[in-house]
Amino acid sequence: MEKILVHSYKGGTGKTTVAVNIAFLLSLKNRVLLIENDFMMPSFFDIFDREPNAYFNDYLNESVNFDSIIEHAVKPNLDVVFTNNKFDPNEKVMSSDQEWFLSILKQMIADFNALEKNYDYIIFDTPPGWHLIVVNLIALSNKAILLLRPDSYEVNGTKIMLEILYKRAKPISSWEVYVLFNQVPEVEMNVDLENWAGELQKEGMKYVGSISCSCNIAYEMAHKTKIFPMEHEFSKALQRAMNIFLRTD
């Protein structure tokens, strides 16, 4: 089973769109569990149009077991865990310190190991930048896809995040961290992308390509198409990147 973290330094880079579409493309041939982790800005309730009885928040707050938060067969071969879109500042996941997050990690590792026989892939959608849940998810994952728009402060922010968050949470040699540019303007930017990719590769990340910024994509998403069919331009670009980080070619 592969456990893949989809993360970025900045918000709005396309994490949720990419995580949901990776999960959908993989579910065409594999058993997939997709887990939402953006407690401040949940979006799965809208994308999948469901209101579950229990959320990832409830599991992390130690009030329910993992099995009871899984929404089965949201799409064929695709199970989903939602976060609660009704903000509660008092719940532990909103208000706890590093010690509490570390204290729940052991249980999380045990529960995710128990899923080994049920799924081929687990995909984690995340909040941007530094959040203590990301430390736990780094510990659980064997791959990360870091998204970034082609902008120097996103490149430099990603390098800093790798240094102070990723490399401290887990030695980079013990897992794989990939970078994927998204929302790349449809003008010639190959030299910029190659230079930035080179800088990121020096830090130990692997470059897997880019997805164009497309007004069609933005238009379709505005009209509630959040999951694209296989032949869509977004899916094709994403599949090319997936072929590299999953080596399924």
Ligand X SMILES: Nc1ncnc2c1ncn2[C@@H]1O[C@H](COP(=O)(O)OP(=O)(O)O)[C@@H](O)[C@H]1O
In the complex, which residues of this chain contact ligand X (CB under 6 A)? 8, 11-17, 182-183, 211, 213-214, 217-218, 221
Question: Rounded to whole angstroms, how far apart are CA atoms 192 and 188?
Answer: 9
Strand bridging mode 71-75 / 78-81 = antiparallel
| Residue 224 near residue 11 (C-beta atoms within 8 A) | no
Closest separation between CB of residue 84 and ligand X, Å?
17
Question: Rounded to whole angstroms, how far apart are CA atoms 105 and 121?
Answer: 20
Closest separation between CB of residue 157 and ligand X, Å?
13
Choose the stretch contacting Mg ion; rule: CB under 5 A; options: 31-39, 61-69, 100-108, 212-220.
31-39
Closest separation between CB of residue 114 and ligand X, Å?
28
Q: What region, left, alpha or beta, does residue 130 occupy, with left being phi > 0 and alpha being psi -120 to 50 degrees?
A: beta
What does 141 bind: Mg ion, ligand X, none (CB cut-off 5 to 8 Å by kind)?
A: none
**Does 83 contact Mg ion by CB under 5 A?**
no
Angle at 132 between CA 167 and CA 181, to 5 degrees: 60
Nearer to Mg ion, 40 or 114 (CB): 40
**Does 16 contact Mg ion by CB under 5 A?**
yes
33: enclosing H helix or E strand: strand 32-35
Nearer to Mg ion, 12 or 229 (CB): 12
Closest separation between CB of residue 159 and ligand X, Å?
18
Binding site for Mg ion (CB under 5 A): 15-16, 38
